[in-house]
Amino acid sequence: MKRYILLAAAAAMLACSKQAEWLDTVEIGTEFSTYEVSYGQGELVVKVWSNGEYTAELGADVNWASLRGADGAGRLKGYGDGEITIDLEKNRGLSRRAELTIVRSRSRVSVDILQGSMLNEGLEFVDANISVGYAGGETVSKMLTPVDADAVGMNVVYVSAEQSDWISGIKIVNNFVIFDVERNWSDAMRYATVVLSTTDALGREVTGSLYVSQQAEGMIFEPISFREMFALLGSRNEMIIDGNYTLTGYVVNDNTYGNGGEIFTVSRTFLDKEAADYTIYLESEDGSCGVRILCKDAESNTARRYDKAVICLNGLTLSRSGGGNDPLRYSLSGAERGNILSTEASSADMLPVKVKSIRELTDDDVYTYVTLTDCEIPVRKGPLSPISYAYSGFMYVYPMLLRDRNGDAIYMMTNTWCTYARNGERMPQGSGTVSGVVVHETCDRFEWDPSAPTDERTFAVGNIGRYQIRHISRSDIDIAERFEDGFSDLICEFRYFNRNYDGLVRNVDDNGTIWSTYPAVADPVGNVNGTLVHWPSGTPVTAKYEWTSLGPVTDEGTFPNLAAGNGVTDYYGTPTTFGLANESFAYNNGCIYYASADAGPAWQAARWYRGTNDYCAWVSNFSTADRDAAQAPMSVQFGAVNSYGTFGAPRYWKAQYSVDGGEWIDLGEYTVPDFPPLSGVKQYFHCPAYKYVNFTFPADADVWGKNSVSVRLMPSRNAAADTSGTGYASGTIVNNVGSGLCYFAVRCNKRQL
């Protein structure tokens, strides 16, 4: 709440006469002269300072606020220092202002009360785009924002001077905008924008736009289904559509929160940051398929989320991509404002219901809105975008790991400047649903094809899976906050490396063994299930900084709110009591480290190659003696990145498991990215963050009820970046260069009741 201090008003009146008379000093004032309150219903308390009786009242034209305890005339009597309580109604219109007047004797104090709007600060129309037939006539459009017609200015902006002055007589009647459209005698469509403007209670100009298109005489639109549009391509992968076809579907995204679409990589150092503003994901009315529409620019995208939109396809480029290992998907590009013929306001409730598990996704789900069930974010620390924000202009998206009850995993795409990517809130730790647009997006920072060109390019090769999901708003992530309210049972979890600090359980012993941090008790290390070591022993494991601070991040890329820590909770005293571990953390230059040393909550080790294809490994050992196959599947998650600013750590790795010291069985292979150099050229495949990975044990794995199960992460070949960092895997492993982890966990499902 923004407030401005008001000095208490004091008045002293002196009588002019031959004999001076003493009059009492009159004091009256309030704590602040201006109060800004939110749009919601509630109350406002105004502190009053007075040395006597006063009367308070609101302006006669204020019908949305009232003085508690006022008389029938709306006046409130008070005496001495105290408080005035004002009851506020919910504001469903524009921001508004009320004046509170307080009078004591001949002194008067005025207080401004400014209430915000529940609407976007604009004059909104129910349907932002309308299409008019060639015959014209009276046209009506309903406004979403309640307005005072006498206070609204009206104007028409035409696309071209040759096609002007065909809209007239604009007026507002009962919140409907009414105007006349002349007959279109030409052979071309024409476009205009009806612009309304007013001033809100804060003195700011507020505008709203209604986009109007009109058919040419004799023009006939031909509705076409999504499947019929796809069939226009025949054997071609791209074509320009020639014909007045129209496509109708639901818009399932917008960029209100900065996560409405993919950000395109143009070169090593240039990103098309406006791409999310001009991307429309249009889902068919029956939900059976979708298409991505790329407008020419952000101004051309006049659609809103959930709008039922009619798109004119004439002149747009239709393209098909994918197939084989990638999903088959379709895009339309080159859309201008005139291609959006009309939009009908709708809501999420009107969308086709599509609820699936990760394994049930198909290519037909791409560019449609889907709810994934029984999901969790299995890395329990940090924000949605745990990157070094010193490189936020370099890495445009962070793929956060998402896992479901079946053990299947998918990446959830979050643009690094999404408003809630790093807003100080810890990620939810339970389970629930995640909704969003199913996409196929790449991430060069996570994966790279070494045969791909390394010069400037306009395409990406970083395949991170067949499907991803892109949430559009924070409410799309409907996951329980508490870990206890999820389906997972943690066998062992390592969330940090702590040898010395009291803010967290100390989990590293003098031999370099890291003990599980969950389940854990605040006792010396060794009393928990699970250890993690760098094998063979003899190579030190050191603490290393990381970037999982919750934020919030300022425009300058700094974290002013150190009290938020990095979102790690720990046991404090009893197994049911948790605290936020923040007192040991500090921040500098985009990373998190312990306050008293350049050592953070991640961990790192060097010496990975022993010669002749013999490698060292991270090895975790744990017991499953009290778990059984009814808790399947078992899976492992971890976050990895190679040494910061130097190159030569292993590129290619494999995950394996063993039972009771038996043979090692492969879980799968993965790559570990290099952190960008502190100076020098950044490559497409450099990653300023830990990469999170998931592997699920085979259904027939004999890992239940065992005293000893081990998982190891080991280099799979002697390949690394060259020492300059420019070659992805053209060098060999350099043994004094480290590779690190910031998280490691083995989990299964809770027993079903």
d(CA 483, CA 502) in angstroms, rounded, equals 23
SS3 call for 428: coil
Are domains 3-115 and 129-214 of this chain identical in fold?
yes
d(CA 364, CA 241) in angstroms, rounded, equals 22
How distant is the alpha carbon of residue 113 from its chain centre?
Answer: 33
Res 324: pLDDT: 86
Q: State the pTM of this model.
A: 0.82
pLDDT one-digit tens code per residue, 333-349: 999 988 999 999 888 98
Res 251: pLDDT: 97
> Which parts of the chain sit beneath pLDDT 50?
1-23, 456-459, 524, 572-578
Residue in 704, 712, 539, 723 with CA at minimum distance from that of residue 647: 723
- Reading phi first (left if > 0) and then psi (alpha if -120 to 50, else beta), residue 349 is in alpha
Distances (CA, A) of 736 to 514, 608, 685, 742: 21, 9, 22, 20
Res 13: pLDDT: 33
Residue in 720, 714, 718, 655 with CA at minimum distance from that of residue 685: 720
SS3 call for 300: helix
Res 575: pLDDT: 41
Per the CB < 8 A criterion, the answer to whether 431 and 402 are in contact is no
Res 404: pLDDT: 98
CATH topology (fold) of 3-115: Immunoglobulin-like (2.60.40)
pLDDT one-digit tens code per residue, 117-174: 765 556 888 898 999 999 999 999 998 877 888 889 999 999 888 888 999 999 999 9
Distances (CA, A) of 435 to 468, 474, 618: 11, 10, 35
Domain layout of the chain by residue ranges: 3-115, 129-214
What residues contact 207, with CB distance under 8 A and at least 6 apart?
A: 122, 123, 195, 196, 197
Res 17: pLDDT: 35
Res 470: pLDDT: 98
How distant is the alpha carbon of residue 303 from its chain centre?
Answer: 20
CATH topology (fold) of 129-214: Immunoglobulin-like (2.60.40)
d(CA 481, CA 381) in angstroms, rounded, equals 12
Per the CB < 8 A criterion, the answer to whether 741 and 486 are in contact is no
Distances (CA, A) of 281 to 253, 267, 272: 6, 25, 18
